[in-house]
Chain A
């Protein structure tokens, strides 16, 4: 029989006695998550802006698809990436399965629709305001998208945060394609799952507290940046 208080205090002791293993897990989690969010923004921001600012055949279907993909089940994405990267899959020769890169790919697939769908909404609203001015200035599509993304940058910080939240908390897909290999692909969420199943609740809880703290700190920093930038620009 264990008491919640005892486990909690042992978890904090583990955090205070910060060891190399913990650093490794936290660092890999951040590396995988931030890389996936970066790649998702690279794809999702222009894609969302394109769908938000322009009318073209298939736009409605693409919008529905992006919205639907926001709720992609992580295990399904994990399975899909696993099949693609496994030895018999089309990308098998690249030997990426059970590497951090495979985890980044899986998370990018999960986060990109979130970034694209939310960007579409933000840009669509802004474009409603700018459309005639841009048309009057004879702007090319590329210039329009660049200007819209720049002017919506403060709102898009929140979009990136939503992507970060999804990626940092994700466990199913990274477990399937990463394999939770110690010192190779072990991240905070997969370690929490593993240690809980082993009954090592102190370490699981310690990582849970760390994960939550990281999420809160990142959100607080980005929101503070956003608020000060918005105040400065009155945007």
Chain B
């Protein structure tokens, strides 16, 4: 029998309300079932990591939870109800490869603020604050697309946080960054979490997982192989898939 995150999360987190739930979520493409009956709960204020080998369906589940893809079966619930426009506005996502608009750094932030209905003097204040937070004040007038990878990812994160989301999805935000840039991104995520933002992040990095996560959802072949507190999943894995992954072994079994 598969665990659910609810079964495994620490007591202090278990008391908080469910922000997002996936119920028996499946996704098929090209005649293949890529996500197969995934159920999970993301609690308010938690830091949940989605881990697993390449092709396990981590990015896909993130997109399904965020509503970027429609599930083939099952449903996603936001505060117990079907997500509506306000749910989308309360969530944001940072992609593995940051998407920069063909505009300046400041214009990228201004665009996000305008889409949240923030204009005029308030927009200038908020944009200035976001630039400062991301350490990009000196680059405000630079075209966003010529920034380094780390700077682009910081801008993407600042832009994602600009609407003060309740839930932030991160799809391997530091996968191609150097240690200094990774550290800066992690501190921005930590700061957002400290302000009450719920974090759901895909990562391959076990060190980062221990630094950044409370609980782990470990996927294998589109299914939840194991869930639980970070130390338990990474150090005392109960599933063969998670154990093989943490030991650096290839695990090719397509079933759990």
Contact = CB atoms under 8 A, between A and B. Distances in A.
Interface of A: 129-130, 132-133, 135-139, 143, 147, 151-152, 232-235
B99 A130 contact: yes
A133 B95 contact: yes
22 contacts: A129-B99, A132-B63, A132-B68, A132-B95, A132-B99, A133-B95, A135-B68, A136-B66, A136-B91, A136-B92, A137-B92, A147-B111, A151-B101, A151-B103, A233-B102, A233-B104, A233-B143, A234-B143, A234-B146, A235-B102, A235-B143, A235-B145
Interface string B129-145: 00000000000000101
Given A137-B112, A138-B88, A234 B145 contact: yes
Interface of B: 63, 66-68, 85, 88-89, 91-93, 95, 99, 101-104, 111-112, 115, 143, 145-146
B95 A143 contact: no
A147 B103 CA distance: 10
Which of B68, B101, B145 has the largest count of A CB atoms less than 10 A from its CB?
A: B101
A170 B5 CA distance: 69
Contacts of A138: 85, 88-89, 115
- The 5 residue pairs across chains A and B that have the minimum distance between CB atoms: A138-B88, A133-B99, A235-B102, A151-B102, A234-B143
Given A136-B68, A232-B143, 7 more contacts: A133-B99, A135-B68, A136-B93, A137-B92, A138-B85, A151-B101, A233-B143
Chain B interface mostly: mixed
A79 B112 CA distance: 49
Contacts of A139: 115
Nearest to A134: B99
B166 to A, nearest CB: 14
